[in-house]
Amino acid sequence: MKNKLLFVTLLIINGQVLAQQKKGLSVTGANYISKVWVADQGNGTYKNPVINADYSDPDAIRVGDDFYLVSSSFEAIPGLPVLHSKDLVNWSILGYALLKQPPFDHFDVPRHGDGVWAPAIRYYHDEFYIYYPDPDFGICVVKAKNPAGPWSKPVMVMEGKGIIDPCPLLDSDGSMYLVHGFAGSRAGIKSVIAVNKLNNDGTRVVDDGVIVYDGHEMDPTIEGPKFYKRNGFYYIFAPAGGVTTGWQLALRSKNIYGPYERRVVMDQGKSSINGPHQGAWVDTPTGEDWFLHFQDKGVYGRVVHLQPMIWKDDWPVIGVDKDGDGKGEPVLTYKKPNVGKIFPVSTPQESDEFNTMSPGLQWQWMANAKPVWMFMNTNKGVLSLYSYQPPNDPANLWFTPNVLLQKFPADEFMATAKITFTPNLKLEGEKTGLTIMGFSYANIAMQSKKDGIYLVFTTCTEADKGKKELEEVITKLSSPTVYLRVKVTKNAVCNFSYSIDGIDYKSTGRPFTAEAGRWIGAKIGLFCTRTSQINDSGYADVDWFRVTPNN
């Protein structure tokens, strides 16, 4: 216990969110069941999406009887989420591979849409490898013996702007290779796939690389490649055609450098699932094949679907191939994978009672965290958020790093937080509350003024362009404890309300339609800020944050 407390303390001192070990998931992890979305139907079938949250660009592997999934995290910290499942349907957040994002000074402020793009996870030499691209700096690798962490510090594998979407391959002779794409915004070229040779431990490319496929004519914006080898063929699974309207390709060759044959192996077809592509082929211990991929749902982000997959004439067929042409279309419901056993229902964490030594694993900051932003007060069973003024005097909350957020967990849901505000009486303008974040945002919050604490409703349109907030005073508060709530309804319409007693809620009367962020869906979360600097801050004690159905 002493060592565990020391470990947690060190992480808090460094401004990190604890990447819990697998054995520590019992409170808010592997047994968490969402009240707003469960993919497991309880009758041997599942419904898509299996993860109804923004886990963009998923990649996955099986190691023994366990499945692990990683996804893009962009500027959010901790980054590089690692999820775990026993059956490909029931998932929980296991931890994060990146507790602080380098270059550290660069990511000490929000860099929306930058940072960690599409990663790949593999298991080589009794060790987990995650390769991830930063489109402005290059491709890095981190390693771990335990997928729950700790993970090694990032090592730069390949420097350069616009080099993205890496995936390694360990060949049968022990040679290692790296396939990747290019981001046109940085590299000045896109729609091509390249392969580089890696050194023996996979930490450095050792050549200039070779372009092995050009998609300009038939497969524009081909990207997100995943590397496999089967029956003597090298396979590159890759999406093309754009995230909302594209298709899933399979390329194959007997030579790692090509030439590669091409086939479309899944598209939308007559289904309602747009742009079904970019993901991972995994098999089960019983020999079944499955494919995890994302669907872009705009304001709700890129959610994760699971598709059945078979091999036909050494080509993958993903989804259901109703006409037998070798090209499948995605399913909305299907029988669960056969993994030899039945496992309990589990979903990624959402609600948080803040009774443990660290926040739930669903929470991420908008930049590298500082130790003065929060304290897990286990004596009171609260998350204490200290008001903080960034040194660069941000124009609005979009540019403020100390905003603690999580992904939307469903199309419709309700979130409520119980907050007690203790402002510094020598300051004016401290503010804490519940926010919906995106290119435009809105929040309901408590704000300190000279004569007391006021409840305010704030909106900011085109926040990413530096526009000013519009703030409306709702009422002066007689109590420092308030229950803040937002109901998210169809098409991401958000209605904020508040309560003094936790029973009767009053609406602000100002509906707000949530917007996506840069490459991500809208998020929901908490903040505590101030507009001036003295020798101490006020703080907000968040007793709990609960996600429930809209009723």
> 403, 360, 326: which is closest to 20 by C-alpha?
360
| pLDDT of 29 | 55
CB count, 10 Å around CB of 124?
14
Residue 30's pLDDT is what? 65
The residue type found at 228 is: Y
Q: Is 298 exposed, middle or buried (0-12, 13-18, 19+ CB in 10 A)?
A: middle
Residue 391 has a pLDDT of 83
Task: Please give the C-alpha separations between residue 184 and each of 220, 288, 462, in angstroms, as whole numbers.
Answer: 12, 37, 25
What count of Cα atoms within 13 Å lies in the side-chain half-sphere of residue 282?
A: 33
Find the radius of gyration of the CA atoms of the chain.
23
Cis check for the bond before 78: say yes or no (omega within 30 of 0): yes
68: Cβ contacts below 8 Å, ≥ 6 apart = 60, 61, 62, 82, 83, 84, 85, 94, 121, 128, 147
Output the tens digit of pLDDT for each of the chain's 551 residues.
333 333 333 333 333 333 333 322 233 456 899 999 999 999 999 999 999 999 999 999 999 999 999 999 999 999 999 999 999 999 999 999 999 999 999 999 999 999 999 999 999 999 999 999 999 999 999 999 999 999 999 999 999 999 999 999 999 999 999 999 999 999 999 999 999 999 999 999 999 999 999 999 999 999 999 999 999 999 999 999 999 999 999 999 999 999 999 999 999 999 999 999 999 999 999 999 999 999 999 999 999 999 999 999 999 999 999 999 999 999 999 999 999 999 999 999 999 999 999 999 999 999 999 999 999 999 999 999 999 998 888 999 999 999 999 999 999 999 999 999 999 989 899 999 999 999 999 999 999 999 999 999 999 999 999 999 999 999 999 999 999 999 999 999 999 999 999 999 999 989 999 999 999 999 999 999 999 888 999 999 999 999 999 98
Residue 223 designated active-site: yes
Q: Is 501 helix (H, G, I), strand (E, B) or coil?
A: coil
pLDDT at 26 (0 to 100): 30
Q: Which of 108, 110, 104, 114 has its CA nearest to residue 73?
A: 114
Catalytic residue among 87, 165, 219, 223: 223
Closest to 460 in 3D by CA, of 450, 452, 470: 470
Candidates 40, 54, 57, 165; catalytic one:
57
Tell me whether strands 45-47 and 333-335 are parallel, antiparallel or unpaired: antiparallel
Alpha-carbon span 56 to 71, nearest angstrom: 5
What distances in angstroms separate CA 540 from CA 15, 388, 408, one per listed residue? 18, 11, 23
| Cα–Cα distance list, 506 to 35, 102, 346, 419, 497 (Å) | 23, 44, 34, 16, 5
Q: What is the C-alpha to C-alpha distance for residues 329 and 271, in angstroms, rounded to an integer?
A: 7
**C-beta separation of 459 from 444 below 8 A:** no
Closest to 528 measured CA to CA, from 345, 390, 330: 390
Which burial class, exposed, middle or buried, applies to 301 when counting CB atoms under 10 A from its CB (0-12, 13-18, 19+)?
A: buried
How far apart, in Å, do the first and last CA atoms of the chain sit? 42
Which residues are CB-contacts of 382 (< 8 A; sequence separation ≥ 6)?
354, 420, 541, 542, 543
> Both tokens of residue 32?
């968490």
